[in-house]
Structure 1
């Protein structure tokens, strides 16, 4: 029987081969499941979602019960990262929502037009600290203190997984100003900004990037992650014209990705929504240094057609199948993906394992990789 360090090294080798578009002994399995694991183990969502330590323990116990899993996307879960990413408050079960209800973003127009000028004149860091204290914090919940606590625990969370033989795939997260602004301004107001004051929006994005990039570099150097999660959601061009996308999304996406790669990490594009119109652009990034993960909205076969010889693909067992399908359906779908995707593929759920997924279905997905 292999030791946990031998298991870890085997999984790491398997994942490395997939990212490099090379043949592995089998297709690696990397999962993300937060509320799913809490529900399976009877842990209250109100406690799970605000405790990095509890979520780490819960997820790890859940992962180890599933079979031959190689990696976890994030080693712990804390909802306080979401306000920081989207500049919007979050509703938490047991506090703002009924116990057992999934946490929800409370998107409103918290960010004002004049905030663009603040970013332009004083920089991203000044803006964000003030915004976090005065618009995203309460006397009982200081967001900056929460973020510091989360960051401090992350290395321990990664070690806990490594000690159990599991690779942490993307413990750090990042995103472009577009995604943050659309959450802070609200989608409707931000969409109007892109047409009414496009030069000001772009100037704010340009002013934010140097400090965002430097902060990302420092995080990568401190944590030394395998990969960095790049959040892609409303930045998909299905929500806008090609002209808008090429001006406000792609240049910043490319800069962030190249920074991640320069610092020695893999850029993991966790891409919600449909990115089919945009796939060709990703070929301009270095070969074998990125992973494109789809939530099933982007056709994985289209990704294979356009990026299959350039970038590792990750996905894409759909949430609906995991929740209401049968274990045979999940196993057959996963097996077909493994066969059709070939080298350079990591088997995973589409986006996140849904809270109501059937345990036997998740086990069937994992089993498909090893044929057991």
Structure 2
């Protein structure tokens, strides 16, 4: 088949599933990073610090496995940068959705640890997080969240931004902007090379749950949960203050030029949301402090023509009823620890559900067992459409040590049992 015809076939398959329709078969959507490196003979350090090796490894995997979509996450969550720059410098912020290894070297951020620097050369990078904003600083944040990020938070998060206005500070920002251009160019080259071998691409915006922003980047998770008990009204004020910025972050980054949409042949623009606090909050706290602001952000990004692409990290079992309030057929969600059968039982065909073999199975099992596990999942989930196979659900992507023969067994099962 001609590569352009193949790309269009995969794109149509994905678009149908994402909008809760029946495609010709269940699509396979893959996120990964270090797996590409190991499969292609590279260390994690090489994948995260050398863009050419990252591209080469991704293309190698894309050619050798019959996925419908592949996206390599060669960085860690960077919303603290993205949200800080998106309003005034969207062209730079567009390449700061994730903190890359080179960004870490330039900024010397205290949030992350990287292979070959703080970690051994062949392990996955780590997001550590820490308390950046003190409890007594909530009012200052509420008054002007983005100003607080620039004047207080970023200098504390990044060692090389510790002295605003200094030569080191200005040099660091200059180097960061140049590296953002390098990363953006490398990403575009990879997308175009994937397109040339028959892979589609969806433009991607980025946003965040307001309470997660406070917990991940400012107060740390344990402190923000304590704050909900100690000073709930102040936390509510901070949530309200940052919510409008999370809406802007999504809508500004989701403003895709018509020529870009035309180039990729789709009107669908993903807006990526990783949800982190869900399993830490009992339903009363979730329903009062977490869900209302997130739902508001969802609705506004949907109104702007974007499709929220949500990683429901952790367990979402006790919060499934809240998903009934999402506009029908308007989001796609990957569930890490919640059985998709339960999701479908509670919300029906309201949203596109993504799920697949966990890494524990892809790493430690046999091809026969992976094939059977995938077949059983497809039998239970594919009816009526709106389902995408997403392997490696327990790590938001395929892990380094997943066995290639198990991945191929999964693909074989989809090709045999995933047809409509």
Give the alignment's TM-score, normalised by structure 2.
0.79
Report if the CA contact (8 A) 2:35-2:398 is conserved: yes
Over 3 Å counting, the alpha-carbon distance change for 1:206 and 1:75 in structure 2 is same
Please list, as runs of the form range in 1=range in 2, the aligned pairs for 1:11-50 lying within 5 A after superposition: 11-50=10-49
Q: 2:210 aligns with which of 163, 167, 177?
A: 177
Alpha-carbon distance in 2 for matches of 1:232, 1:81: 14
Count of aligned pairs: 365
1:293 paired to 2:334: yes
Q: Are residues 329 and 173 of structure 1, via their aligned partners in 2, closer, same or farther at CA, if it must alter by over 3 Å?
A: farther
1:129 match = 150
Report the alpha carbon displacement of residue 307 of structure 1 after superposing the two structures with TM: 2.4
Change (3 A) 1:82 1:368: farther
The match for 2:373 among 321, 333, 337 is 333
Which of 191, 196, 206 lines up with 1:163 in the alignment? 196
Per-residue Cα deviation, 1:110-148 (whole angstroms, up to 9, x for no partner): 23224422321123x222233234423536975964556
- Change in Cα spacing, 1:211 to 1:94, as seen in structure 2 (3 Å) is same
Show the counterpart of 2:414.
369
Counterpart in the other structure of 2:389: 347
Q: 3-state DSSP class of the match of 1:255?
A: helix
Structure-to-structure mapping, 1:1-372, within 5 angstroms: 2-51=1-50, 54-67=53-66, 69-72=67-70, 74-79=71-76, 81=78, 84=81, 89-123=111-145, 125-130=146-151, 131-138=153-160, 145=177, 150=183, 154-169=187-202, 171-184=204-217, 185-222=219-256, 226-234=269-277, 236=278, 238-295=279-336, 297-342=337-382, 343-349=385-391, 350=393, 351-371=396-416
Q: CA–CA distance in 1 between the matches of 2:185 and 2:155? A: 20
* Structure 2 contact 32–72 (Cα < 8 Å) conserved: no
Deviations 1:352-371 (A, max 9, x none): 11111111111222222212
2: CA distance between counterparts of 1:241 and 1:20? 31
How far apart in 1 are the matches of 2:321 and 2:201?
29
SS where residue 249 of structure 1 aligns? helix
Q: Tell me if the contact between 2:378 and 2:414 (Cα under 8 Å) persists in the aligned partners.
A: yes
The structure whose Rg is larger is: 2
Q: Could you tell me the TM-score, scaled by structure 1's length?
A: 0.89
RMSD: 2.6
